[in-house]
Amino acid sequence: MTDQPLLSVSDLSVSYGPVQAVREASLEVRAGEIVALLGANGAGKSSTMWALVGMAPRTGGRIVLDGRDVTGAAPEDVVRAGIAIVPEGRRVFANLTVRDNIRLGGVARRAGDPHGPLQRDEVGDLFPLLAERWDQVAGGLSGGQQQQLAIARALAARPRLVLLDEPSLGLSPRLVGEVFELMAELRRRAITLLVVEQNVQRSLAIADRAYVLQGGRIVLSGDAAEVRDSEATEAAFLGGRTTTRTTTTTTVTG
């Protein structure tokens, strides 16, 4: 990892009509990190993720990827710049095969990528079951296999940064463990991750750093272990009172 952020987000705001979902949120992700974006339901986590890929109504702020300003870029241009998203609920193309889902994920590969489309043997290296079911329609896969396919489809774009939105949602405890092991493996392969997760403790166990959102604002940021032990994190999820969370961001330092 380097000190230079791969992703830099400054004062991001997202509004749906009169409802402001994200309020001047700023965050950074460095190459090689897993960064957790945490918060209770309705805190603005998914809106933040979708705004980063040009799929939510951004009303302010700036998004810079590796020195390139991608603020307001079309979603396909964001993918070509190097960001891919794995949406909440997987959203695979149920009537298409595993192969075709992955092929579609690679249509807008990162600009300048020296590799071709993601091949079956590459998929099999990380997801052996998907390689075995290469010609099976995605709708016939289990929930855990569909989650693997959604991640493989994002990797087909050869991204530098993958956004994972609730990757363990709806999975059995065993499969949740497999998803977190997969995230750790992706980091070992130099794939940078920004992860939205309701499973706070497991997220903080694998993350390098974390941000906590409450009411659309980032109220806490710092190393994952320090965020885990902060009273402000508990307050953000349980609705407790803190003096800083509605007015300023608390940065935890060692």
Cβ atoms of 233 and 220 closer than 8 Å: yes
For strand 217-223 and strand 209-214, is the pairing parallel, antiparallel, or unpaired? antiparallel
Which CATH class for the 5-82+160-252 domain? alpha beta
* pLDDT at residue 142 in the model: 87
Cβ atoms of 62 and 25 closer than 8 Å: no
For strand 217-223 and strand 250-252, is the pairing parallel, antiparallel, or unpaired? parallel
Burial of 135 (0-12, 13-18, 19+ CB in 10 A): exposed
* pLDDT at residue 109 in the model: 76
Would you kindly state where each structural domain of the chain is located, as residue ranges? 5-82+160-252, 96-154
Question: pTM for this structure?
Answer: 0.86
- Nearest-angstrom CA–CA distance, 178 and 206: 13
* pLDDT at residue 248 in the model: 37
Cβ atoms of 115 and 193 closer than 8 Å: no
- Nearest-angstrom CA–CA distance, 111 and 46: 26
* pLDDT at residue 3 in the model: 67
Token pair in block for residue 206: 């694998």
* pLDDT at residue 121 in the model: 87
- The number of C-alpha atoms within 13 Å of 233 and in the hemisphere containing its C-beta is 23
% of the chain exceeding 70 in pLDDT: 88
Cβ atoms of 70 and 12 closer than 8 Å: no
* pLDDT at residue 226 in the model: 87
Cβ atoms of 178 and 144 closer than 8 Å: yes
* pLDDT at residue 171 in the model: 77
* pLDDT at residue 115 in the model: 75
Which segments of the chain does DSSP mark as H helices, in order?
45-52, 75-81, 98-105, 120-126, 128-132, 143-155, 173-188, 200-206, 224-228, 231-238
* pLDDT at residue 51 in the model: 96
* pLDDT at residue 198 in the model: 83
158-210: per-residue pLDDT in tens? Answer: 999 999 998 888 778 888 888 899 899 999 988 999 999 888 888 999 999 99
pLDDT less than 50: residues of the chain? 1, 240-254
